[in-house]
Structures are given as C-alpha cells and as structure tokens.
Amino acid sequence: MDKISKLQRMIDESNNIVVFTGAGVSTDSGLKDFRSKDGLYKKPSPYPAEYMLSNACFYTHPEEFFEYYKENFNCLDVEPNITHKYFKKLEDIGKLKAIITQNIDGLHTKAGNKNVYEVHGTIYRNHCIKCHKEYDANYVFNSKGVPKCNCGGIVKPDVVLYGEALPEKDYIGGLSAISKADMLIVCGSSLTVYPASGMVDNFNGKYLIIINNTKTPYDYKANLVINDNLSKVFSKLK
Ligand code: ZN
C-alpha cells in the first residue's frame, strides 16, 4: 500500500485527531519559512534574525524591531491553502479535535477552524505594554514607525519573541489535546524549536504521522513519515 493510502486509512480509523503545524503549512500560501535555504533567517538584516525577533530587540531597538516585523510578518492578505482547508473539513466532520500551531499567521483561524492553540502567538492580537489596551493587526502594520497607544505606550504584537515564555493557556490546552488524541499529524515543522516541539512527547495515541519536506528528530518514533510537499499530499486525501 502506498503512503497516501496508508495515511487515508489511519484518518478513516481515527476519531480524535490532533494536528501540530509549523511554517511549512503556510509556504504554499506564499509565506516564507524560517530555516530552509530560502528562509527568512537567511535574509540580510541589521542584526541576526533571532535577535531581530527577540524581546531584547523589542525593548532596546523598537524602531529596528518594527521595521523588520512589518516587512516580514505582514500577512493580512495571505489566504489559507489546501492543507488549512483540509483540516477545516476534518474538524467539520468531527474527527479533528484541535490544531496546535507554531505559526503566527492566523491562517488556521482564517480557514475556519475553531479549536486552534497558537503556541507562538498571533499577529492578529496586539496590546499596549502600558495600559494593555488591545489593537488590531491593521493598526500595527499601517502605523508609521513604532506603533503607539493613545496613552503613549508601545503597542506590542502578541507573538512569542525569543526570550519570552509560551502563552500558558495555549500551551496547556495544546498539551492536553495531544495527550488525549488517538492520531497526531505533524505537518510542516522540523520539530527543532523547543519547547513547542517537545509537546509531541505527550502523545500516547495509536498513530504518529510526520509530513515535512525534510527529516525531523522524531521520525524514528513515527508510524508514517512522508517527505513531500504538503499541498500535494493533502490534495490526494478524502
Ligand atoms: Zn496604552
């Protein structure tokens, strides 16, 4: 039996499917991933990319931080692709119970999925660091320079920067969903960013599936590994 038919059979058999996604899920929507050879981390920037996206950069060089952030993370016009839409369909028929995503692009929510844990936050929520007033993503991306609240505080995107902890509610919720799942499909993540990747260790169900264009450190634990383009894989599934 070929790998796609195997995957289809496992999906048909499972009733508590959880999906864990990384940047690779969004590349077919036109977004860049981080670590591959054409990824964001290879692009020139005033400081190394990991510093540009750190909490230290946000507080000490806010102008540079926002210039980089607005240039690279404005995905307000980006649309969900075939993989996001497949997961929406799986949720609608009651098989998919939760999505845990490392992506901050909000595309699973845009595709219509209801139970999404965004463990690295989202560009769609932003708040003033002084008075905590909330602002939408348009406000941040359309502001000139550093986005400011009317109280004078900086408006900070609710995305997890280097040096910051994961949002507790999403992290705990995601862990709980994984621990109850009978099938876990990991998609488009190289599973190298800790601690989010370690969430996979909480899976005790029947089928662990990894679909990614490169190898991951968890491949040896998986029941099925598919190294292929995600849209290609998901366009063949019912
Ligand atoms: Zn404020």
Instruction: Give per-residue pLDDT as tens, 6-15.
Output: 999 999 999 9
35: confidence class by pLDDT, cuts 50, 70, 90? low
Buried b (16+ CB within 10 A) or exposed e, 135-149: bebeebbeeeeebbb
Q: How far is the CA of 231 from the centre of ligand 1 (A)?
A: 42
pLDDT at 107: 97
Check pLDDT > 90 for residue 124: yes
pLDDT at 36: 60
Active-site option among 61, 84, 120, 132: 120
Choose between 46 and 76: higher pLDDT: 76
Q: How far is the CA of 146 from the centre of ligand 1 (A)?
A: 13
pLDDT at 30: 87
- Considering the entire predicted model, what is its pTM? 0.93
- Find, among 200, 207, 15, 178, the residue nearest to 96 by Cα: 15
Summarize pLDDT for 208-227 with one digit per residue, the tens: 999 999 999 999 999 999 99
Choose between 102 and 44: higher pLDDT: 102
194: confidence class by pLDDT, cuts 50, 70, 90? confident
Q: How far is the CA of 136 from the centre of ligand 1 (A)?
A: 13
Cα–Cα distance measured from residue 226 to residue 107, given in angstroms and rounded to the nearest whole number: 23
Q: How far is the CA of 123 from the centre of ligand 1 (A)?
A: 18
pLDDT at 148: 98
pLDDT at 198: 85
Choose between 40 and 49: higher pLDDT: 49
Q: How far is the CA of 45 from the centre of ligand 1 (A)?
A: 29
Residue 120 annotated in active site: yes
Check pLDDT > 70 for residue 166: yes
Check pLDDT > 70 for residue 101: yes
pLDDT at 1: 80
Q: How far is the CA of 68 from the centre of ligand 1 (A)?
A: 22
Cα–Cα distance measured from residue 178 to residue 189, given in angstroms and rounded to the nearest whole number: 16
Sign of dihedral through CA atoms 50, 120, 38, 70? negative
